[in-house]
Structure 1
């Protein structure tokens, strides 16, 4: 069982989010402690909000007064409402919130049933509930509850199981919830440097993302919409705006994720590039054969073609590591047009050219076994790209005795000297 705790300022937002699920029939109230109950035994959002707000002193120094937690049993667990209610009670008591007002909601909007708990981080006197080592203590509590109720331990939930999310199924309904679950899982697990790479990952789940530009009251805004698709990638449902899903999946969040990924993926590039190089040197005759051999090495290759059958995109995905890399991100020699040329004429395999890839192979194998520093990895990537640019421009004709790195470095110095000369003339 996994617990996710959030400290928030907006009490109305936390309560409203859960009551909105109740109104839609996607959640139910399991338990309410120290809160007003109407004569008919029901709880309303207005009453719960008023009760909790009344217990927060006006001069309270704590800004994030709201405790919001979700308890997530293993997807294979099917627990009764009574068991979930008892688990919630014992969890709150052990964490130090036993005497606090709180309300427990059971969510059934996705296949994995789970509960949400909303409470206050301060008591009626404004004293903050002890939150030291809160997440560590929470993990100890959930481990104890797993043993007591004989639950599947959270330690048995591997990364692979977490990302094996079902595809969007238009026949099941709750499309927005399906999309939200997929998007959050993908953004949490995968690293990507462009929307194109993100789209390749999402395509596995019958989903796509599109960038939209809007103007409101004279100001321009960038946004994202997520579009359900069929198996062929065609639009199959109404686009869902990121703001309708919630925080963390919008334009700004995805852009931040891409920027961080550009640094995080650098140590992984040499290993993936070397795997692709070694497989291509076996001269696979078909695209399907390439895919199969890469899968044996833990990689997925997604090849994109236009209507005429020309390859215009190739992306390599390591699902275990959670990374998606466009071919050109591995280097100029791994771009889509290189693979298109090869599969148009498999007898002419550029990856077998020792003068082109020979010295690179040795260095890539070394990079795969010796973990480079981030700075050295970035430098090598840039030099490799520059080397391929030299070859494409006809400025560098490799020989068996040439040191590719030294040659690329000399070219870089020549470029800098040209820039300096131009500046002096000005």
Structure 2
């Protein structure tokens, strides 16, 4: 069982996210502690929000007063509601929230059933609940619960994932073999429409790809090099030319993959866009909240910022379906600058504007079946946003002097020259 804990000041957003699921039939309320229950035995968002807000002192110094946690059993686990309720109670009690008001939701909108718990990080006097080493203590609690209820250990889940998605490990040697294996796996499974989107996928494996162009004896060459990186995107090894890896990973192969992807992803875009839209309508206060809520929808989001902290790129990834899409590819209202504006001022949420996002979403869904000449100015502007993001992604993972590009090509061309010389001699 894996626990994901977040803290926020947006109590309404945390509750709205879960109650929206209940309204849609995608979640149910399992348990509520120290909260008002109507005569009909129901809990409403308005009542729960009012109850919790009333317990937060006006002079409270703690800024992030909300505790939001998801407990995720292994996908193969099928636990009864009674077992999940007991697990939630014991988890909250042991973590130190046993006397706090909290509400537990069971989500069933995806194949892996899991629970969400919303509570307060301060007591009635405004004193903060002890959160020292919280994640470490949480892991110890989930380990104990796994043993008690005979659950599949989270350690086994992690090990399995690590085997399926290995990163480049400089300490293991055979770097070229590692890179070749990762690149072939990614190109086989994922669909993407730009090198920027491919780079976001590769970054998960501590790898980057860059395009190199050069002219030699009047002839222009286009190629790709793959660069091992560290967890922060810094280059840690000599670039490996695609031709040194083998067939199917070079410039032409990647370009063909991108062209085929543009057609393949069209029918899949509306579902991804809707997940992003519904998540943004819960008004996540931080990028971390957005990431956590999208993960629960089966989406991974990667946000890129410049040195000044401005968001210049955002990519949504469905690892199961193998899709990577820059935000602008979802539509005009999903470009990086929109998210930068929102997170700069979360009090104004443009995604709540039904007149803009309702009609825009409908038009964009229809655009998949119409001729490009029929697209209006708003959809055409998406192409500009895509170009801007792709150009910005050209600097993604670039960490310094790029003289190695020319050096790599020089070595490659020298090899070609030697081959030609040998052929002429024979």
Please report the TM-score for the alignment, with normalisation by the length of structure 1.
0.49
Structure possessing the higher relative contact order (Cα contacts under 8 Å, 6 or more residues apart): 2
Q: Which protein shows a greater Rg? A: 1
Please report the TM-score for the alignment, with normalisation by the length of structure 2.
0.49
